[in-house]
Amino acid sequence: MIAPACEHAPLAGMRILVVEDNYLVALSLQQHLEDLGCTVVGPVPSLAEGMASVDAGDLDGAILDINIIGGTSAPIAHKLRDRQCPFFFITGYTSPRLLPDELTDCRRLMKPIDEDLLERTIRQELTVVDE
């Protein structure tokens, strides 16, 4: 079972994959995550690199931009879900239409990203506690 983690769960050392095709946004995410003590895997801008990073394994979580080079990040999300690796989306789209139905209930963070909200979302979505 996956349950929401407490607010003060340590994030340091978490390996988080960042898939974001906009260089500046990716850089910003990386900076924020590193400020939180996380280890950023990537960031990578494309579907192909994103898939490869998941395959490479050893991820504690992932932050996925929906629209990336090569398509949408849905296949990456599916792969992460198969591996029970937590993730959430960041997007400029208000509507979830670009995502397949089974992914529409996933958490989406709107750009531009608020630092505090990012941290909260990471804590809620990416930290897992085995009950």
Partner 1 sequence: MLIACPAVALARPADDAEHTHIHTITAITLLAVAQSITILVLGWNIVRRRRSERARLASEATIGSLFRAAPAGLGMTVDRKLKRVNQHMCDMLEYHRDHLVGENARMLYPTQEDYDYVGTEKYRQIEAHGVGTVETRWLKRDGQVIDVLLSSCPVDSDDLSKGVTFAALDITLRKQAEHALKESEQRFRELVDHLEEVFWIADAETGKTLYASPSLERKWGIPLEKVKSGCMWHQVVHPDDVQHVREARKRLRQGEQMDIEFRIMQPDDTVRWVQDRGFPIVEDGKVTRTAGLVSDITDRKESEAAIGSLARFPAEDPNPVLRLEPTGEVLYTNDAARRLLAEHAVTENIVPKNWLKALREALATQKNQHMDVNSGAHTFTLVFAPIADAAHVNVYGMDVTERRQAEVRQRLIMRELDHRVKNNLAAVQSLAERSIRRADSLADFRESFMGRLQAMARTHEALAQTRWDGVDLHDAVHLVLGPYIQAGSKRLELQGDRLRLPARAALPIGLALHELATNAVKYGSLSCADGRVCLSWETMDDCNIELTWREVGGPPITHPTHSGTGTALIEGLIGYELQGAVELAYPTSGVTCKMTIPLSRFAERGSVSDTVTNQDSCNKDVTS
What is the x/- site pattern for partner 1, positions 8-27, by CB under 8 A?
-------------xxxxxxx
Q: Please state, in angstroms and rounded to a whole number, the distance separating the CA atoms of residues 28 and 97.
A: 26
Q: Looking at the chain, how many residues does it have?
A: 131
Of 28 and 127, which has the nearer Cβ to partner 1? 28
Give me the least distance between CB of 112 and partner 1, in Å please. Answer: 4
Of 1 and 24, which has the nearer Cβ to partner 1? 24
Q: Does 124 bind partner 1 (CB under 8 A)?
A: no
Q: Which of 94, 101, 116, 130 binds partner 1 (CB under 8 A)?
A: 94
Of 9 and 48, which has the nearer Cβ to partner 1? 48
Q: Please state, in angstroms and rounded to a whole number, the distance separating the CA atoms of residues 131 and 56.
A: 27
Task: Could you list the beta-strand ranges (E) of the chain.
Answer: 15-19, 39-44, 61-65, 67-68, 71-72, 87-91, 108-110
What spatial distance separates the first Cα and last Cα of the chain, rounded to whole Å? 7
Q: Does 72 bind partner 1 (CB under 8 A)?
A: yes
Beta 71-72 vs 67-68: how paired, if at all?
A: antiparallel
Q: Does 45 bind partner 1 (CB under 8 A)?
A: yes
Q: Which residue has the tokens 């397949």?
A: 100
Q: Which of 67, 79, 81, 106 binds partner 1 (CB under 8 A)?
A: 67
The binding site for partner 1 (CB under 8 A) comprises 21-28, 31, 43, 45-47, 67, 69-72, 74-75, 91-95, 97, 110-113
